[in-house]
Chains A and B, each alone.
Chain A
């Protein structure tokens, strides 16, 4: 089992510190969801985990070894990343893009193997993108494109998969489909999944472990029941809410209370006309 830990992490851009004193143990073989307000540092944390950003203090430890000392290609065989807004160049086909996921498994001189073929095909199957394999990526819908990117990450066959907002721009059906796909992957291959999600209710339902970040610091981490509480939501997002058990899964479910339309009768707009 691979283990991924964050120890006293401090990171930022230039002289600006974004993350401070952050400790985190990512449970292996489980699904972790990172939640927090915009610009609180979720993507920054993911970039540190994937070693795209060098911490100014502290370290990220993969299997007992600081990621800083792991060779790039080696790291890419164990840890895959789907960035927040990936770009596909003009004219690149789905099959091409997904096959790039095999890059870390290929040496300078080694040839493309049958195993590479199988991994690409399996990734296309799992994401149901095989039938669009020879279409061009930039001509797909947002949901199709997202699935293609996930297929690329699957073809990488890593033990750990980091996903930055894999469900943004997707309708509810595709959001659920992507999350179900990640659960399948987690259950069939034991892949450790860490993802940033904005929908707290989907996060609570699909993740085994929730991590709430507030202003670059770890606020709470633990089971969905212990993290998704009225108090945490108030402190992390500054939003009052009610938390009730989801009638089907029993997981906590959050209902935000805005300043308007929060109940106690109808608002004026509804009564006029």
Chain B
């Protein structure tokens, strides 16, 4: 009977972990709801609950209600962009099997921003649709470029080589972006947001066109969860378990590129969300991507709202761009990850 009892305990262990995941899910959802409320009520001018209700239902009678009407799309954008970046980070870490992967560190966001700035400066691009397509193209090209450079030489695309290739690409793209903007006084004001990401000027008109891309990216990423689980075991083991390695990797990467490109098209390059969030989520729910991906999306939304609110409070009466705040939060985490894992493992 020992077989039966220990089988029972094994299955019990699986069920226990499932229950704890669900508990964490409700915690994360509640925190997200609180963060949204804070984001609508806090800022240069704090707003009370009554005005929030009135503002959300469309009333703009008082200044406070008008402020709410502005802050609602801003909050929605923070949720979407944070979720997209958190999810993209988790997917990139899975695809490259690299704990340092992140849309910022791998140069994908910087590539997207550079593409948009080139479009504005050289081709007079103005419409949001054009920004979107250009950003996604730039993100895709940057991803391919970094992966190609990172795979050169012996051993293929090791985490360390990818991170170096990505960092170099990110720096090169942002320097190039600055070089394009500097002599152009006519566009300098408008393109500042392509150097540091921010969500200040959000409006539903700007958010709507991105939605199809975000949804497509979301679906692709969530569908790739099982494939990413297998890829984590190494290509040989994954193929041995019946995974289509190239398809799984390509589909997931395409999903991440769509998310990063669409996000960068409205917000500019925001770094470190995709790095920090998956590591925190792994502590909560482990390495199974079927849990990790949704958690990364929710936690990414929380982090970006939090960073945005902090940026509004600490720089009163002005505001600090959310991209700067996430960098302040993300840099120590980056160092922690590098220290935690011996360099040999990278």
Contact = CB atoms under 8 A, between A and B. Distances in A.
Interface of A: 47, 50-52, 72-73, 75-77, 79-83, 86-93, 95-97, 99-101, 103-104, 117-118, 120-121, 124-125, 130-131, 133-134, 156
A82 B240 CA distance: 8
Given A73-B242, A80-B240, A83-B237, A91 B282 contact: yes
Given A47-B236, A83-B236, A89-B232, A72 B242 contact: yes
B287 A133 contact: no
B100 interface: no
B7 A130 contact: yes
A100 B241 contact: yes
Contacts of B60: none
Nearest to A125: B3
Contact of B287 (A47, A77, A90): A90
Which 8 interchain pairs have the tightest Cβ spacing?
Answer: A76-B242, A81-B240, A104-B242, A121-B7, A73-B242, A134-B13, A89-B232, A83-B236
A192 B236 CA distance: 20
Contact of A72 (B16, B17, B244): B244
B310 to A, nearest CB: 29
Given A91-B282, A92-B286, 12 more contacts: A47-B236, A51-B239, A82-B237, A83-B234, A87-B233, A91-B283, A95-B13, A100-B229, A100-B230, A121-B6, A130-B7, A134-B16
A92 B3 CA distance: 24
A90 B241 contact: no
Nearest to B93: A89
Nearest to A83: B236
Interface string B280-322: 0011001110000000000000000000000000000000000
Contacts of A100: 229-230, 233, 241
Contacts of B9: 130, 133
Given A83-B236, A103-B243, A89 B287 contact: yes
A124 B9 CA distance: 11
A45 B264 CA distance: 46
Contacts of B243: 72, 103
27 contacts: A47-B236, A50-B236, A50-B239, A51-B239, A52-B239, A72-B242, A76-B241, A77-B242, A79-B240, A82-B237, A83-B236, A87-B97, A87-B234, A89-B97, A92-B287, A92-B288, A93-B13, A93-B17, A95-B13, A117-B11, A124-B6, A124-B10, A125-B6, A130-B6, A131-B6, A133-B9, A134-B17
Nearest to A47: B236
A16 to B, nearest CB: 14
Nearest to B288: A96
Contacts of A73: 242
B99 interface: yes
Contacts of A72: 239, 242-244
Interface of B is mostly: helix
B7 A91 contact: no
A100 B242 CA distance: 11
Nearest to B11: A117
A156 B97 CA distance: 24
A82 B236 CA distance: 9
Interface in B232-257: 232-237, 239-244
B45 interface: no
B234 A91 contact: no
Contacts of A133: 9-10, 13
Nearest to A149: B237
B6 to A, nearest CB: 4
A50 B237 CA distance: 10
Residue of B10, B11, B235 contacting most chain A CB atoms (<10 Å):
B10
Interface string B78-105: 0000000000000000000101000000
Nearest to A43: B236
Residue of B16, B233, B242 contacting most chain A CB atoms (<10 Å):
B242
Contacts of B242: 72-73, 75-77, 103-104
B226 to A, nearest CB: 7
A86 B233 contact: yes
A79 to B, nearest CB: 8
Contacts of B17: 93, 134
A52 B229 CA distance: 18
Interface string B1-24: 001001101110110110000000
Contacts of B233: 86-89, 97, 100
Contacts of A79: 240
Nearest to A75: B242
A133 B7 CA distance: 10
A97 B242 CA distance: 15
Nearest to A98: B10
B100 to A, nearest CB: 13
Interface string B40-84: 000000000000000000000000000000000000000000000
B282 A90 contact: yes
A76 B241 CA distance: 5
B6 A104 contact: no
Contacts of A91: 282-283, 286-287
B200 to A, nearest CB: 37
Nearest to B4: A121
A117 to B, nearest CB: 6
A124 B4 CA distance: 12
Nearest to B234: A87
